[in-house]
C-alpha cells in the first residue's frame, strides 16, 4: 500500500554452494540432504538444479540465484545425483571452485540397480524383465554394462573423472546401507567432513518399521516427524 514502509531486507546472501551431493542415484542422496539440512549451519536447495549437466549454459549467476540465503557462518549445499555420471561435471565444478566439497552416497551396486529398475518400472510397466536387461548372455553370465542401471553402479569408472580434478580428501563417501542402520553415525561423519559441529545425533531419528527406514523426529521447519516420500525405498 502507498505510504507503507519498505519491507526489511532478508538476512544473508545467496552464495554458490560450498558442498554438493554429486551422487549416486538411488543411493540415498535425498535422505542425506534432508538429514543434513536439519543442521543450523547448513542451508540446502530442496530441488535438484541440474546445473552442471543440463543447465550449464544458463551461467553461474543463474545457478547462484537458485540458492537459499545464508549467513557467513552457514554452508550452502545442493544435490543432483546425475552429476556423478556426467563426464563434464568434475571440470565444471572445479572451474566454479576447486575447494568444493563433494559427497557421494554409494550402496551395493546390485541393490542400487534393482532400485533403479523398480523406479523405471513404476513409470513404464511394459519394459523387459530386470534379468533380460542386465545380461547380454545369461548362460555365459555376461553382464550388459551399457545398460544405465548397471553402468551407474560401476563407481570406479566414474570416479576416475573426478580424481582428475579433485583429491580424495575432498570427496566423502556415505554408505547407503549404514545410512539405514546407523543414520546418526553416518551423518556424524558428514558433519565432520563439512567442518561443522556434530549437532545431528541419535535424538533426531527414529526407525519407521512400516517403511523400513529411519525418519527424522523433527523436520527443519516443524515439530512433526518427517519421513521420505513414498517413491523412496521401493
What residues are annotated to the active site?
A: 26
Check whether 13 is labelled as a binding-site residue.
no
Which residues does 99 contact at the CB level (< 8 Å), separation at least 6? 18, 170
Q: How far apart are the C-alpha atoms of 34 and 227, rounded to whole Å?
A: 9
Q: How far apart are the C-alpha atoms of 213 and 206, rounded to whole Å?
A: 9
Name residue, grid cell 554409494. 106
DSSP characters over 180-232? HH-HHHHHHHHHHHHT------GGGEEEETTTTEEEESS-SSSSS-B---TTS
Check whether 73 is labelled as a binding-site residue.
no
Angle at 146 between CA 141 and CA 149, to 5 degrees: 90
Check whether 27 is labelled as a binding-site residue.
yes
Check whether 29 is labelled as a binding-site residue.
yes
Q: For residue 84, count CB atoms less than 10 angstroms from its CB and return exposed for 0-12, middle for 13-18, buried for 19 or more.
A: buried
Cis upstream peptide for 24 (omega within 30°): yes
SS (H, E, C) 90-158: HHHHHHHCCCCEEEEEECCHHHHHHHHHHHHHHHCCCCCCHHHHHEEECCCCEECCCCHHHHCCCHHHH
Check whether 26 is labelled as a binding-site residue.
yes
Binding residues for 3'-phosphoadenylyl sulfate: 26-30, 107, 115
Binding residues: 26-30, 107, 115
Amino acid at each position: 500500500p502507498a505510504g507503507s514502509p519498505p519491507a526489511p531486507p532478508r538476512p544473508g546472501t545467496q552464495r554458490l554452494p560450498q558442498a554438493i551431493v554429486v551422487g549416486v542415484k538411488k543411493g540415498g542422496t535425498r535422505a542425506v540432504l534432508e538429514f543434513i539440512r536439519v543442521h543450523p549451519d547448513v542451508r540446502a536447495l530442496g530441488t535438484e538444479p541440474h546445473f552442471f549437466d543440463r543447465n550449464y549454459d544458463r551461467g553461474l549467476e543463474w545457478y547462484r540465484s537458485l540458492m537459499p540465503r545464508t549467513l557467513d557462518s552457514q554452508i550452502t549445499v545442493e544435490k543432483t545425483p546425475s552429476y556423478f555420471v556426467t563426464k563434464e561435471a568434475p571440470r565444471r565444478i572445479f572451474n566454479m571452485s576447486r575447494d568444493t566439497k563433494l559427497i557421494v552416497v554409494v550402496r551395493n551396486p546390485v541393490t542400487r540397480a534393482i532400485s533403479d529398475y523398480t523406479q523405471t518400472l513404476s513409470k513404464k510397466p511394459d519394459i523387459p524383465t530386470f534379468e533380460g536387461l542386465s545380461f547380454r548372455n545369461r548362460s555365459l553370465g555376461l553382464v550388459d554394462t551399457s545398460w544405465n542401471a548397471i553402468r551407474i553402479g560401476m563407481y570406479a569408472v566414474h570416479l576416475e573423472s573426478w580424481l582428475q580434478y579433485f583429491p580424495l580428501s575432498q570427496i566423502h563417501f556415505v554408505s547407503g546401507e549404514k545410512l539405514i542402520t546407523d543414520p546418526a553415525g553416518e551423518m556424524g561423519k558428514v558433519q565432520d567432513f563439512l567442518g561443522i559441529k556434530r549437532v545431528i545425533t541419535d535424538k533426531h531419528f527414529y526407525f519407521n518399521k512400516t517403511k523400513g527406514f529411519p525418519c527424522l523426529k523433527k523436520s527443519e521447519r516443524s515439530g512433526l516427524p518427517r519421513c521420505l516420500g513414498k517413491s523412496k525405498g521401493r
